Structure 1
Amino acid sequence: MTILDLTSHPVAAKYAVLVDVGYLYAAAGEVLLGAKERKEYRVSADELIQALQKHAETRIHGELLRIYWYDAARDRVPTVDQRVIAQLPWVKVRLGNLNARGQQKGVDAQIRSDLEALARHHAVSDTILLAGDEDMVPAVEAAQAYGVRIHLWGVEPPYGTNQAERLVWESDTVEIISADFLRSYFSRAPVPVPAAPAAPSPAQVFAARTPAAIKPKAPVGQITKLGPSRPRVEEVGEHVAQKWILTRGRDNIRDLLPGPILPTVIDTELLIEAEKELGHSLRPYPEARVWLRDGFWARVYREFEIGVGVSSK
């Protein structure tokens, strides 16, 4: 990684980091894994963002305004990863549309608009732009006209270059992020393993389960609060999974695999959805949370034909 000393500014800078996720992921996937499509790999996006933030702090002496994370999603419905990223501090997720061919639409326009607006309103003195498209050039020139310094970051290419030559020319400084820097945040996606013919179906597993869990005896004089039944909670978990598959898309739900652990944000959404279905809270019943996840994963595993899985009791 080329080291550029930008810490000698006489006045502390205020800066933003604008990341074209499509470029970052595609370039990193190619150089690290030889991958051509995003579904071929997984990204520890939250850790990657933190690493980029820390790296920016070593390059620019000043205050971070925020990190803008430009990505795309089918019908602009955020994926699991995007919903988790949106919860991170100082991170703004901006979504374009992903068409049927997997092409991003509207992302470049959002980057250009934000870059120009930040400069026009004097919100920043410096901007780190992690991108490679020549379409960024007019926005870079406009931002510079307002006095903003543009620091272009790129991903190490396997050969040649993966950034437009003119974009490189117009930027104030240029740095290449090495493959070694990115390596620990990218991994090859697991290949789903079909269930063995003899494996029981989710329906068979449900049939074999006891209809209700044995609850500990309540202290003398205390009224035991009757909780929801296990079959009903598992049924609701399956229903929520089915609804998410239909509304958020199979590719979105596929991001949760191999399971059975759910990101905290998604686990909370599952609980909220289930409580709406049931019409009452599950918070007082820890065992019901387990049953809910069992039902959810049973439906997800059935959808992707990778066997029956249940969360740990």
Structure 2
Amino acid sequence: MTGTSLRSGIHVGYAPLIDALVRQAERISELSVLRVHWYDSAKDGVPDLQQQRIGELPKVKLRLGRFGMDGQQKGVDLRIGLDLVTHARNGAADVFILVSGDDDLTEAVEEAQAHGVQVILLAVPSKENKPHGISRHLIRAADGIEILSPETVDQTVAKVEMPPPSVSQLVAVVPPAGKPQVRPTPRDLAELGSSAAVRPSPVIVYSATTGREPQVTPGYEDPVELAEQIDSVVMNVLTAFRKSATAEALAELEDGKPSIPRDIDKALLTDLSDRRGEFDLSENVRHKLRAQFWKKYDEVP
């Protein structure tokens, strides 16, 4: 819908989406659906209003992980894996339709299959109607892979685009007449003390997950092709984010330099993996991708 996998760039109609997922699952399995397990993360494990509405839909069971200190999802993959294996062991269902491409679920799929069930992947389609963001290990482990109907995506997902600021909003940020904004000098900042420290330019790229500089090792990527792919992915994600982000989200991104928010970082990694056909990107490629994001952020208004 937006050319990226940035979650904040889309609005989803969850009720019709889940209805469509159920209908397609029943066609694939030729069985009646027992229930839908919907997995997500929530602050302190407490559902927000949107998650509450999803959990109240018929035949839907909400399963929530939490956010870690670094903003990453915690416990979601574990819940999926445990549910998959437990239901398979208990004979609760014969076929499981897994809407995920996460490599971390491969072992859980194989363990569930050992109890005599089928596990079929349902992948989100790319513009070329091919599976988007699916681990090759997971594909090899599963009993089959199907594509989510493109019509379902068209009917239940829409772009989010924030309106441009109004004239009154623009006027509000202009300094009053006779009081032009003055950039403080180094001496001014020194006199203010350490509390007014200047934010350094983001030269070192930090991982969104570790907060540490990655160990960059030489790779075997075609440098010209890789640079073009990285540049394209970065521009798509950055454009989608700026079109959909609120003023608060834009300020949060700016204030968080040089760290990249988890949703943006995930979109960058997912889209580049999809573009290159590689689920696991090297640290060298990740480093270049994140460095290019801040470079383009500063270059493109």
TM-score w.r.t. length of structure 2: 0.51
- Aligned to 2:79, the other structure's residue is in SS state helix
- Aligned to 1:152, the other structure's residue is in SS state strand
Q: Using the aligned pairs only, state the percent identity.
A: 37
Shift of 1:197: 3.9
- Aligned to 2:101, the other structure's residue is in SS state coil
Structure 1 residue 133 corresponds to structure 2 residue 102: yes
Which residue is 2:134 aligned to? Answer: 163
Which residue is 2:58 aligned to? Answer: 89
Which residue is 1:184 aligned to? Answer: 155
CA deviations over 1:246-285 (Å, ceiling 9, x no partner)? xxxx99xxxxxxxxxxxxxxxxxxxxxxxxxxxxxxxxxx
Structure 1 residue 78 corresponds to structure 2 residue 35: no
CA deviations over 1:36-88 (Å, ceiling 9, x no partner)? 43222211011100111111122222232110001112222212221111111
The 2-side partners of 1:182 and 1:100 are apart by 33
For structure 2, list consecutive stretches of 5 or more residues without a partner in the other structure: 170-246, 249-301
Q: Is the CA contact 1:152–1:175 (under 8 Å) kept in the aligned structure 2?
A: yes
Q: 1:152 aligned to 117, 121, 128, which one?
A: 121
- Aligned to 1:97, the other structure's residue is in SS state strand
Which residue is 1:47 aligned to? Answer: 16
For structure 1, list consecutive stretches of 5 or more residues without a partner in the other structure: 1-31, 199-249, 252-313
Q: Is the CA contact 2:17–2:152 (under 8 Å) kept in the aligned structure 1?
A: no
- Aligned to 2:32, the other structure's residue is in SS state strand
- Aligned to 2:58, the other structure's residue is in SS state coil
Which residue is 2:297 aligned to? Answer: none
Letter in 1 for 2:91: H
Shift of 1:157: 3.0
> CA RMSD of the aligned region, Å?
2.5
The 1-side partners of 2:22 and 2:68 are apart by 30
Higher strand proportion: 1
- Aligned to 1:34, the other structure's residue is in SS state coil
The 1-side partners of 2:6 and 2:143 are apart by 32
CA deviations over 1:185-243 (Å, ceiling 9, x no partner)? 11122415656649xxxxxxxxxxxxxxxxxxxxxxxxxxxxxxxxxxxxxxxxxxxxx
TM-score w.r.t. length of structure 1: 0.49
Structure 1 residue 104 corresponds to structure 2 residue 70: no
Change (3 A) 1:100 1:193: farther
Matched pairs, number: 169
The 2-side partners of 1:35 and 1:74 are apart by 25
The 1-side partners of 2:139 and 2:102 are apart by 10
Structure 1 runs of 4+ aligned residues shifted over 6 Å read none
Shift of 1:103: 2.6
- Aligned to 1:140, the other structure's residue is in SS state helix
Q: 1:115 aligned to 84, 94, 98, which one?
A: 84
CA deviations over 1:114-135 (Å, ceiling 9, x no partner)? 0000011111111111110111
Q: Is the CA contact 1:35–1:41 (under 8 Å) kept in the aligned structure 2?
A: no
Change (3 A) 1:34 1:181: same
Bigger relative contact order, structure 1 or 2 (CA pairs below 8 A, ≥6 apart):
2
